[in-house]
Amino acid sequence: MTYVVVQRTGFMPYFLSAWTDGIDSWDCLRARALTFDARAARRIANRLNARRPTAPVPVVVEALR
């Protein structure tokens, strides 16, 4: 199973589309989202949430169907 890292802000979700050395890029199209295994996706989401602990909307991991 593959997973994506997503940040749901209001009605528009943003998917992680680039991740290099802690530099992240987000896109609203799921087709451009990076896919990960569960362990990698959770690690990246945890790192992003730790970097912005007061963010109003946390980064989460969702399974692709």
For residue range 49-58, list pLDDT tens digits in order.
998 888 888 9
Rounded to an integer, what distance in angstroms lies between the CA atom of residue 52 and that of residue 42?
16
Domain residues for the domain of 17 are: 3-63
User: How many domains does the structure of the chain reveal?
Assistant: 1
Neighbour count for residue 41 (Cβ, 10 Å):
23
Q: What is the pLDDT of residues 15-51, one digit of tens each?
A: 999 988 778 899 999 999 999 999 999 999 999 999 8
Let me know: does 17 contact 34? Beta carbons within 8 Å: yes
Over residues 1-26, the mean pLDDT reads: 90
Read off the pLDDT band of 9 (50, 70, 90): confident
